[in-house]
């Protein structure tokens, strides 16, 4: 691809190419071979088997594993028999086993733990490639695994997979804000070892690294002057994941190194389970994972722009929701939090009935259930195919359904106010018109406030997040932010608009002529404001509404975008009929307003 | 639309490079047979297997069984224990309880060939007796009496159960065992790469394979039947008893009715362009019912070459299937493959610019790639990189997104 691009540059502007090559007219292939590479990869989906003594504990462990991006098979000894649990653990599709309990297990789970530990140890003996994580009180059964592994058990998480992934925050900033900010307050707790840690055992596992913003981050990317071989035709994109598996036999990769790990219990951290999530995420993700790279980029972007940034990323292997906020004196630090979900893929590998229902709920076309299921499965085989016409409409429904699952799974992020900058990322958003992406963000991020909407159209946030050096990443993003983030528009979302003929008036200053627009309850109104332009919007509402604060009159600065200024006067949360036809009609009406060419 | 056709030169090669490749053939594929607790491998790594060789024994009704204190029984001399022989307790084992062998005492083990039940890892040298007396370990084959499941009673025969050991806790072993067992035969010839009780058997198959997108049912083998297709499809009524033992090419889509009928007629498998998720669910439910009844059935496999939505089979693949007609082929489900002997199969000749539409409203149509059209505005106002294509039997050209196209390689 690089050779192809440079060949085009050579045809269009040979002097520019010579300048890139340092003065002399180069051979394109040779030039491309000398440039350094930054590699970022999406971690393939991996499955973890969760074992617990009780249903309550299983749910807590499953939630932590789900938030870390794992596919989860869960079972508890009080619900399933030992053969079924063994089947789950011994399946070759399972890469890791999480056996957990409370720090001080209650009777209901304590009586099952010896059986479960023996079962996990036996599984480890049969499948030495399994990684076993003992969480909370289950760590007391570490000795059960003594004969199950040649390398021997022990806390090995000091290899620090998670590092900065959950938080990039200076310790000073933590101390300064821990009393007020719940996210920041989480970090000191996450840094503390659990009370029941094995005496003498290393507790580096639980020490969350909180590097200063300029600290060098390790193992996140590989910038190398070694060039890959020039692509030939045979190396063109492969057909589909299923065909890959035909050639490459197993979905279980060897990325997770087999070992016995000790981890905190499912209640540690703030919010509960954050510490275990951090451990599991580090275990799952490749060192230069592009999805986690987006979270890192968002942190850098928040620092560079000095604004609160939130991202929703939807991909084939999962989804990510992340938020970064500048804090401290002079906003010298940034606090970040994120969660990855395999289930937030726009086309999950094995979609449950709930996933099918969620796509149904956001679909504007009438499809029978079987046909919708078939289309969703085929979307996984060909994620870039069928992207026009009704295929685009279906992809939008699948993306919105994935987004809604992601939003539902991250209530702690939804509890924050609307961010200054909301980013849509992922290939599925890159292939549909910008106005529809803006509508999707308005539909799903329903919090009162004013925010700028942008799209990572070139999908560069992930690769840039693979840059090792935080300072270098910030420099890059400071230079490139305007180019890689396509401005979609500005979203104004007041809460508490009452139904009636009119909701009030909007006066937009800074445009020529000054626009005065009547606001209609229940509608989403779009006002032209081209990218790069700013204006002052004076709102005069008939009733008291919430837009940051409560009041009738608001004056806010708004920026333009491809879509313009969106004033969303629909309900918060979005209320729609339970009847499929009515719901579909409402969604279709809003969509047509933003997507005039949908019927072409 | 008038387009100058360019089928050579660097630009055309660059255009072709935009098209996703689909490999029609893979050689010496690695296939997997997943095992569950209670199942054992009957082969060992390095073994050569041929068609029909038993490779595993499944225990479909496996349930958790208390196998008792195997070491103590051995040490105490129960069941002819080894303690009297002066062996250490850890290495002791007596008995019918751990007996796994079908070899006679004193028989020397061949270097490569294992006993019917295998141990993971290198096979220790020694006698069959020594092997039988291996200490209990997870996954080891175990046979025990029905009294261990509390089924003994007056005037009732004591059923014996067999399965694999699960784990040991405080000296007592639990096993996944059942009364009924099924032999899994290899549908292909090849070399065993991995064999682990309760986990999987992996075989590197000899020959070549056509990859599919979806597979369901069980691995099966039969002669390939490529009937005449009407409008790209095979009527379910064409699946009659005369095709028993065949793997039938069924055209663009398999219906639930065709699956039921094929199974009733002892047909070994179906191949189609696509199969719906509903049909797969029906097949799965039918298999579960069959397994629950514990009645032996003929293995039946199913392969969809493209996906779930209706699409005709690609003509190069159909040509390859036609060339294989009448020969023995095998359907394997993990990964989805149609495996055949590679020798003397004429491969269809394909022009380098031959493409097929794999998704979108033209899905399944084939033609030739003429040129690139750059960024193009498609329906719904979506902008995508486009290709100019001329379909078979058409004079006009069509502009399609590159992402909807595929080309074939061998």
Nearest CA to CA, how far is A89 from chain B (Å)? 10
Which of A4, A118, A598 lies nearest to residue B380, judging by beta carbons? A598
Model ipTM value: 0.82
- Determine the angle formed by the axes of helices A470-484 and A290-305, rounding to 10 degrees: 80
- Which pLDDT score is estimated for B286? 86
What are A516-542's pLDDT values in tens digits? 899 999 999 999 999 989 999 999 999
Residue A411 belongs to what H/E stretch? helix A411-414
Which structure tokens are listed for A514? 């000054």
Q: What is the pLDDT of residue A515?
A: 79
Report whether pLDDT(A205) > 80. no
Of B396, B332, B336, nearest to B362 by C-alpha is B396
Q: How far, in Å, CA of A74 to CA of A163, rounded?
A: 27
Please tell me which residue, A83 or B70, carries the higher pLDDT value.
Answer: A83
Neighbours of A210 (CB within 10 A): 21
What local confidence, expressed as pLDDT, does residue A519 receive? 93
The DSSP secondary-structure symbol of A41 reads B
Query: In this predicted model, what pLDDT tens digit does every residue of A584-595 receive, in sequence order?
Result: 999 999 998 888
A2 at B interface, C-beta within 8 A: no
Interface test with A, best of B139, B213, B339 (most A CBs within 10 A): B213
At A1 the pLDDT is 77
> pLDDT digits over A466-488, tens only?
998 999 999 999 999 999 999 99
Non-local (6+) Cβ contacts of A493 within 8 A are A418, A442, A446, A447, A448, A449, A450, A451, A547, A568, A572
Residue A593 touches partner B, C-beta closer than 8 Å: no
In this prediction, residue B150 carries a pLDDT of: 52
What backbone torsions phi and psi does residue B178 show, to the nearest 5 degrees? -155, 170
Q: Could you report the per-residue pLDDT of B259-282, keeping only the tens digit for each?
A: 999 998 999 999 999 999 999 999
Return d(Cα B40, Cα B43) in angstroms, integer.
9
- pLDDT class for A20, splitting at 50, 70, 90? confident
**Two structure tokens written together for A100:** 């957990």
pLDDT over threshold 90, residue B122: no
Instruction: Report the candidate in A289, A287, A216 with the shortest Cα–Cα distance to residue A257.
Output: A287
- pLDDT class of B289 with cuts at 50, 70, 90: confident
Stretch B374-398: mean pLDDT: 92
Q: Which of A238, A375, A389 shows the shortest C-beta gap to B21?
A: A238
How close B308 comes to chain A (CA, Å)? 5
Is pLDDT above 50 for A348? Answer: yes
* Chain A residues with beta carbon closer than 8 angstroms to that of B335: 242, 245-246, 249
Domains of chain B: 10-23+347-409 (2.30.30.30), 59-183 (no CATH), 207-340 (3.50.30)
Inform me whether the pLDDT recorded for B87 exceeds 60.
no
Chain A residues with beta carbon closer than 8 angstroms to that of B16: 233, 236
Q: Is A331 exposed, middle or buried (0-12, 13-18, 19+ CB in 10 A)?
A: middle
Point out the residue among B17, B200, B359 whose CB comes nearest to the CB of A231: B17
* Rounded CA separation A385/A370 (Å): 20
pLDDT of B248 above 60: yes
Strands A421-425 and A309-314, sheet pairing? parallel
CA-angle at A156, arms to A152 and A161, nearest 5°: 145
Give the model confidence (pLDDT) of A532-588 as tens digits. Answer: 899 999 999 998 999 988 999 999 999 999 999 999 999 998 888 889 899 999 999
Most confident of A160-169, A449-458, B86-95: A449-458
The pLDDT score that the predictor gives to residue A21 is 82
Higher-pLDDT residue of A38 and A599 is A38
pLDDT for residue A258: 64
Mean pLDDT of A86-97: 95
Distances (CA, A) of A545 to A439, A504, A571: 21, 11, 12
Q: Tens of pLDDT along A177-201?
A: 333 333 333 333 333 333 333 333 3
What residues does A106 pair with on adjacent strands? none
Alpha helices in B270-404 (DSSP H): 277-293, 315-324
Which sequence spans correspond to the domains of chain A? 2-39+224-242, 47-217+254-284, 290-599
Model confidence at B71, in pLDDT bands (50, 70, 90)? low
Whether the bond between A411 and the residue before it is cis, its omega within 30 degrees of 0, is no
A 10 A CB-CB count for A507 gives 14
User: What residues form DSSP beta bridges with A506?
Assistant: A517, A539
A47 touches A250 (CB < 8 A): no
**Mean per-residue pLDDT, A448-463:** 94
Burial of A193 (0-12, 13-18, 19+ CB in 10 A): middle
Closest by Cβ to B309, choosing from A83, A246, A375:
A375
Count Cβ atoms below 10 Å from residue B297 Cβ, excluding itself.
14
> What is the pLDDT confidence band of residue B101, given thresholds at 50, 70 and 90?
very low
Helix, strand or coil, per DSSP, at residue B304: strand
Task: Give the separation between CA A278 and CA A264, rounded to whole angstroms.
Answer: 10
**A443 closest CA partner among A572, A597, A582, A581:** A572
Residue A250 has pLDDT above 90, yes or no: no
Using CA atoms, how far residue B94 sits from B78, B126, B134, B135, in Å, is 7, 17, 9, 9
Predicted local confidence at residue A561, as pLDDT: 93
Q: What is the pLDDT of residue A275?
A: 92
The reply to whether omega before A573 is within 30° of 0 (cis) is: yes
Sheet holding B200-205, edge to edge: B30-34, B200-205, B190-196, B48-49
Average pLDDT, chain B: 81
Residue B112 has a pLDDT of 42
**pLDDT (0 to 100) of residue A382:** 92
**Sign of the CA dihedral B342, B345, B346, B351?**
negative
Q: What is the pLDDT of residue A109?
A: 85
Grade residue A209 by pLDDT with cuts at 50, 70 and 90.
very low
Q: How far apart are CA B42 and CA B56, in angstroms?
A: 5
A144 touches A107 (CB < 8 A): no
* Average pLDDT score over residue span B392-402: 93
């Amino acid at each position: 691809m690089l050779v192809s691009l440079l060949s085009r540059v050579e045809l269009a502007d040979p002097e520019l190419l010579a300048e890139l090559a340092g003065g002399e007219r180069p051979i394109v292939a040779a030039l491309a071979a000398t440039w350094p590479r930054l590699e970022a990869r999406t971690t393939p989906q991996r499955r973890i088997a969760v074992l617990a003594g009780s249903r309550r504990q299983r749910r807590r462990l499953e939630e932590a594993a789900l938030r870390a991006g794992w596919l989860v098979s869960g079972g508890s000894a009080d619900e399933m028999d030992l053969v079924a649990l063994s089947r789950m653990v011994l399946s070759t599709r399972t890469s890791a086993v999480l056996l957990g309990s409370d720090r001080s297990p209650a009777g209901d789970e304590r009586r099952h733990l010896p059986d479960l530990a023996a079962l996990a140890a036996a599984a480890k003996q049969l499948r030495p490639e399994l990684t076993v994580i003992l969480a909370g009180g289950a760590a007391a059964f570490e000795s059960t695994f003594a004969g199950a592994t040649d390398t021997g058990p022990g806390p090995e998480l000091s290899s620090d997979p998670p590092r900065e992934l959950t938080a990039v925050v200076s310790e000073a900033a933590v101390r300064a804000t821990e009393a007020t900010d719940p996210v920041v307050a989480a970090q000191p707790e996450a840094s503390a070892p659990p009370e029941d840690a094995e005496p003498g055992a290393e507790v580096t596992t639980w020490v969350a690294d909180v590097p200063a913003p300029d600290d060098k981050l390790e193992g996140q990317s590989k910038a190398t002057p070694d060039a890959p071989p020039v692509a030939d035709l045979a190396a063109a994109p492969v057909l589909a994941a299923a065909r890959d598996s035909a050639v490459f036999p197993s979905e279980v990769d060897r990325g997770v190194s087999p070992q016995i790990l000790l981890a905190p219990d499912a209640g540690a951290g703030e919010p509960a389970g954050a510490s275990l999530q951090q451990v599991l995420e580090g275990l799952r993700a490749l060192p230069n994972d592009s999805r986690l790279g987006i979270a890192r980029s968002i942190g850098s972007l928040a620092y560079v722009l000095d604004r609160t940034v939130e991202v929703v990323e939807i991909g084939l292997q999962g989804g990510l929701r992340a938020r970064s906020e500048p804090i401290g004196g002079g906003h010298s630090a940034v606090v970040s939090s994120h969660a990855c979900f395999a289930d937030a893929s726009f086309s999950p590998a094995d979609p449950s009935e709930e996933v099918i229902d969620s796509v149904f709920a956001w679909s504007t076309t009438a499809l029978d259930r079987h046909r919708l299921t078939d289309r969703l499965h085929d979307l996984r085989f060909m994620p870039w195919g069928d992207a026009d016409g009704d295929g685009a409409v279906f992809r939008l429904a699948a993306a919105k359904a994935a987004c809604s699952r992601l939003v539902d799974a991250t209530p702690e992020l939804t509890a924050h106010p609307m961010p200054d900058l909301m980013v849509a990322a992922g290939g599925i958003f890159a292939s549909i018109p910008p106005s529809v992406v803006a509508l999707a963000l308005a539909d799903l991020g329903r919090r009162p406030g004013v925010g700028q909407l942008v799209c990572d159209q070139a999908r560069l946030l992930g690769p840039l997040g693979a840059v090792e050096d935080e300072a270098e990443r910030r420099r890059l993003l400071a230079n490139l932010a305007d180019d890689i983030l396509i401005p979609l528009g500005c979203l104004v979302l007041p809460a508490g608009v009452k139904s009636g003929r009119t909701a009030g008036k909007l006066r937009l200053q800074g445009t020529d002529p000054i626009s005065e627009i009547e606001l209609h309850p229940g509608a989403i109104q779009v006002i032209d404001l081209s990218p790069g332009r700013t204006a002052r919007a004076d709102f005069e509402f008939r009733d008291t509404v919430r837009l940051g604060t409560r009041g009738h009159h608001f004056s806010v600065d708004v920026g333009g975008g491809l879509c313009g200024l969106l004033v969303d006067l629909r309900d918060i949360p979005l209320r729609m009929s339970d009847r499929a036809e009515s719901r579909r009609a409402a969604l279709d009406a809003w969509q047509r307003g933003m997507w005039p060419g949908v019927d072409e | 639309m008038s387009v100058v056709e360019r089928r050579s030169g660097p630009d055309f090669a660059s255009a072709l490079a935009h098209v996703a490749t689909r490999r029609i053939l893979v050689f010496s594929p690695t296939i997997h047979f997943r095992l569950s607790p209670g199942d054992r491998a009957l082969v060992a790594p390095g073994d050569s297997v041929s068609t029909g060789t038993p490779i595993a024994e499944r225990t479909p009704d496996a349930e958790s069984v208390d196998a008792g204190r195997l070491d103590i029984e051995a040490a105490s001399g129960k069941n002819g224990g080894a303690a009297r022989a002066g062996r250490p307790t850890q290495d002791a084992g007596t008995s019918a309880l751990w007996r796994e062998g079908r070899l006679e005492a004193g028989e020397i083990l061949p270097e490569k060939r294992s006993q019917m039940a295998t141990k993971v890892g290198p096979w220790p040298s020694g006698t069959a007796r020594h092997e039988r007396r291996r200490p209990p370990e997870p996954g080891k084959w175990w046979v025990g009496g029905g009294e261990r499941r509390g089924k003994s009673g007056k005037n009732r025969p004591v059923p014996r159960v067999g399965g694999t050991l699960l784990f040991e806790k405080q000296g007592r072993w639990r096993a996944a065992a059942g009364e009924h067992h099924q032999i899994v035969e290899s549908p292909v010839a090849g070399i065993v790469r991995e064999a682990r009780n309760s986990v999987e058997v992996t075989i590197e198959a000899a020959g070549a394979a056509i990859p599919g997108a979806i597979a369901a049912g069980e691995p099966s083998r039969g002669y390939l039947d490529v009937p005449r297709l009407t409008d790209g499809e095979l009527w379910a009524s064409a699946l009659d008893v005369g095709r028993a033992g065949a793997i039938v090419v069924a055209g663009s889509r398999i219906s639930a009715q065709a699956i039921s009928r094929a199974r009733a007629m002892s047909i070994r498998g179906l191949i189609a362009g696509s199969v719906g998720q509903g049909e797969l669910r029906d097949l799965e439910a039918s298999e579960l019912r069959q397994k629950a009844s514990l009645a032996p059935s003929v293995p039946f496999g199913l392969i969809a070459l493209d996906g779930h939505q209706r699409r005709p089979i690609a003509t190069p693949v159909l040509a390859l299937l036609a060339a294989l007609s009448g020969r023995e082929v095998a359907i394997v489900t993990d990964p989805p493959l149609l495996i055949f002997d590679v020798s003397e199969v004429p491969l269809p000749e394909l022009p380098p610019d031959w493409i097929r539409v794999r998704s979108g409203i033209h899905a399944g149509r084939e033609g030739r790639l003429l040129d690139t059209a750059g960024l193009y505005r498609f329906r719904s106002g979506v902008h995508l990189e486009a290709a100019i294509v001329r379909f078979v039997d058409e004079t006009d050209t069509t502009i399609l997104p590159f992402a909807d196209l595929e080309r074939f390689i061998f």
